[in-house]
Structure 1
Amino acid sequence: MKFDLLKTDAATQARAGVVHTDHGAIETPIFMPVGTLGTVKGVHQRELKEEVNPDIILANTYHLYLRPGTDILEKAGGLHQFMNWDRPILTDSGGYQVYSLSANRKIKEEGVKFKSHIDGSYHFFTPERAMDIQRSIGADIIMAFDECTPYPCEYNYARRSMHMTHRWLKRCIEHFNNTPDRYGFKQTLFPIIQGSTYKDLRVQSAEFVANCDLPANAIGGLSVGEPAEEMYAMTEVVTAVLPNEKPRYLMGVGTPINLLENVALGVDMFDCVMPTRNGRNGMIFTANGSINIKNKKWEADFSPLDDAGYAWVDTEYSKSYVRHLFTVNEMLGRQICTIHNLAFYLWLMREARKHILAGDFATWKEKMVKQMDNRL
């Protein structure tokens, strides 16, 4: 993997660059749609490519390990072949499940014992096993195994967890370096910075991860319930430590405003379930604020879903019709809102990139944040 940093905004830390992988180039800043189970929910791959047009998508190691399992993925020739996707893929290592499945897991130095949310069976993930599974899945970018701590998190627990994540990272690196790439293309390992919302821990973790000298760096353990101001503060602390010549990935973030604020702090890559999950629940994001399409106020509004036309669904369907689809529990409504939201998120990142390259990102960002901070 190679990263070309093209420009840094003079008034902020926002950056425009290109990440080169064997499955294609990723222009940054970028939002990665989440395809946890090898599919972005409710969206055909053709629609994903033609309407949303992301440079990269994300899938989840834990869920793909459970279903369909690595045997099927290997027989298919890897996830790219299995789901018919020819662009880059990133896989989360399962570290987020250490956080989200807290009632069904037990952590120890060797690894994490999970109780499957599907059938109650037990499974054990070690850093080495997480590397092996991701090799089998065949993602272009694979994540180190870590513990994502909750918020709030007591200082001593956050410190112990951070040091264990660092030890696990060493094991991930060693095992990754001693195993071959699969399916004829190169895979790249990203390390993850932890430390909860404690500045000194975040600095320690960022320094440790930077010294590992991997091709990119990720920031984990944020967007887990902390106030947005805490997220921004921790991101700013970390990006001040990380090397400029490598891409930075902020995991699991966030709202459109979160994305722009973190782009301004020097983050290059994002993922979040929000545009798809909120879309399935009738919330759409626009440049002028968010809309709950299920509200009665849209019942007789026959204007287009979004005049801006980020995807074909925006001008093909009216607000009234999409509201009707939700009222009658028709899955098409959820699909329309999902496609709109994803297309809007990708548009927002590409507009940010244009303004970084043009040199007026700070002014544009402030205007966009004010516009989007509304409920319509």
Structure 2
Amino acid sequence: MFEFDIDKSDEKSQARAGRLHTGRGVINTPIFMPVGTAATVKGVHMAELEETIAAEIILANTYHLYIRPGIPLIEKAKGVHRFGGWEKPMLTDSGGYQVYSLGQSRKIFEKGVEFRSHIDGSKHIFTPESVMDIQRSIGADIIMAFDECTPYPCDWKYANTSMHRTHRWLERCIKRFNETEEKYGVVQTLAPIVQGSVYTDLRKISAEYIAGTDQPINAIGGLSVGEPKEDMYAMTDVVTSILPKEKPRYLMGVGTPENLLENIALGIDMFDCVLPTRNARHGLIYTHEGIINIKNAKWMEDFSAIDEESTADTSRFHSKAFLRHLFLSKELLGPQIATIQNLSFYLQLVRNARKHILLGDFAEWKNQAIRQYSQRL
């Protein structure tokens, strides 16, 4: 069963520490979900993901799994968990954002979205109904409604039209979801998505509509797409003031360590973002001292640990000088160590946020943590 318990709420903010119960295990919130787009987090073995990074839930993507390896193969494997060897909870993004990012190679209609594969150019159509069917076959514990992610910037008229289309698509998603059953014996939960760009009136309308559908979990989309962080926080604040407090709130595609902490303070429980893994592959490392560009010459003779406070053995035992050497030598181990470090840091960050919510000093800790973790070394 899917249930959400709030263990404690912060007295000086909207932050809360909770537990999300799913058929594949309990998730402690606030939580960050590593992005495993194609059923794998790039460069990280599932054992490292579970034991070293201590991920409690990961995200995979409907669009990418649909394109490759294809839904028939995943069905033959009895779902994405058995296919990829991940036994804990998983969430699938509906593919709405990926289709949006295809730009000129997709067309949006009331029926759905027509797009061309980024791999071979073949033509496909996603509808609310087909996306529900695909996610049933993938078998994730939490599946997302099909929505249109509005670009930034966009004018009010387009944002309004897009938001109402997303609401109509949601009605069809809910209908199809209720008409079908999970395929692999574990309960699936559908999450609707609030849209409305950076317009307060539209965000209020969308949040009220989404809350009215009475789903067990609610998501906020269309942010972290290029808007100033102040707009992100303002829109999140508007939406969390409306969405029911007793249900988990998932802010999609966010973000930096600062973004996570500020949005936790606004009442967000769940996050995902490619930032820690993508930046790791380019040599940008998040540590408990601050942010490092490991390719810089200043680290050439720095034999101190990558991050003394990391839960990752590789970050405590290997030096900054060694990691820089791996990147300059284009050794595959370099991005792998960096990815493990960044994801470990993000998971430690949300665990520390939870700890300080329970201790009652989250607001004070947050402000200090943002200053420390955002500084460039």
TM-score (norm 2): 0.99
The Cα offsets for residues 24-72 of structure 1, whole Å up to 9 and x where unpaired, read as: 0010000000000010000000111110011100000000001111110
2:9: which partner in 1?
Answer: 8
1:300 paired residue number: 301
Name the residue aligned to 1:290: 291
The aligned residue for residue 81 of structure 2 is: 80
Show structure 1 runs of 4+ deviating over 3 A.
Answer: none
* Contact 2:37–2:61 (Cα < 8 Å) also in 1: yes
CA shift for structure 1 position 7:
1.1
CA distance in 1, matches of 2:320, 2:238: 42
Give the Å deviation of 1:315.
1.4
Q: Is 1:222–2:227 an aligned residue pair? A: no
CA distance in 2, matches of 1:366, 1:288: 15
2:257 and 2:374 in contact (8 A); partners too:
no
Cα deviation for residue 287 of structure 1 reads: 2.4
1:251-300 CA distances to partner (integer Å, 9 max, x unpaired)? 00000110000000000000000010000110011223210001010011
Which AA in structure 2 matches 1:293?
I
Distance in 2 separating the partners of 1:236 and 1:138: 32
Which structure 1 segments of 5+ residues have no match? Answer: none
Q: Report the counterpart of residue 334 of structure 1 in structure 2.
A: 335
Equivalent residues in 2 for 1:103-142, closer than 5 Å? 103-142=104-143
Q: Distance in 1 between matches of 2:154 and 2:193?
A: 18
Which amino acid is 1:29 matched to?
Answer: P
Q: Secondary structure at the match of 2:60?
A: strand
Three-state SS of the structure 1 residue aligned to 2:285 is strand
DSSP-derived class of the 1:113 partner:
strand
**Residue ranges of structure 2 left out of the alignment (5+ in a row):** none
Q: What is the CA distance between 1:129 and its match in structure 2?
A: 0.4
CA contact (8 A) 2:224 2:232 kept: yes
Mapped to 2, the partners of 1:132 and 1:306 lie a distance apart of 44
One-letter amino acid of the counterpart of residue 142, structure 1? I
1-structure distance, mates of 2:165, 2:7: 35
Tell me the alpha carbon deviations over residues 165-190 of structure 1, each in whole angstroms, 9 at most, x when there is no partner: 00000000000000011101100000
CA distance in 2, matches of 1:50, 1:309: 13
Distance in 2, Cα, partners of 1:271 & 1:373 = 19
Are residues 1:251 and 2:236 paired? Answer: no
Q: 1:275 and 1:303 mapped to 2: Cα distance?
A: 22
Q: Secondary structure at the match of 2:271?
A: strand
Question: What is the correspondence of 1:13-24 to structure 2 with a 5 Å cutoff?
Answer: 13-24=14-25
Q: Which amino acid aligns with 1:28?
A: T
- Counterpart of 2:327 in 1: which secondary structure? helix
CA distance in 2, matches of 1:99, 1:24: 32
2:185 matched to 1:180? Answer: no
In the alignment, the residues of structure 2 paired with residue 340 and residue 309 of structure 1 have an alpha-carbon distance, to the nearest angstrom, of: 7
CA deviation vs aligned residue, 1:310-363 (integer Å, no higher than 9, x gap): 211111211001001110111100000000000000000000000001110000
Give the counterpart letter for 1:198 in structure 2.
Y
What letter matches 1:203 in structure 2?
A: K
- Secondary structure in 2 matching 1:241: coil
What is the alpha-carbon root mean square deviation over aligned residues?
Answer: 0.6
Cα offset for 1:308?
A: 1.1
What is the SS of the residue equivalent to 2:369? helix
Name the structure 1 match of 2:362: 361
Equivalent positions of 1:190-269 (< 5 A) are 190-269=191-270
- Which whole-Å CA distance do the structure 1 matches of 2:313 and 2:240 have between them? 37
Percent identical residues: 65
Structure 1 letter corresponding to 2:51: E
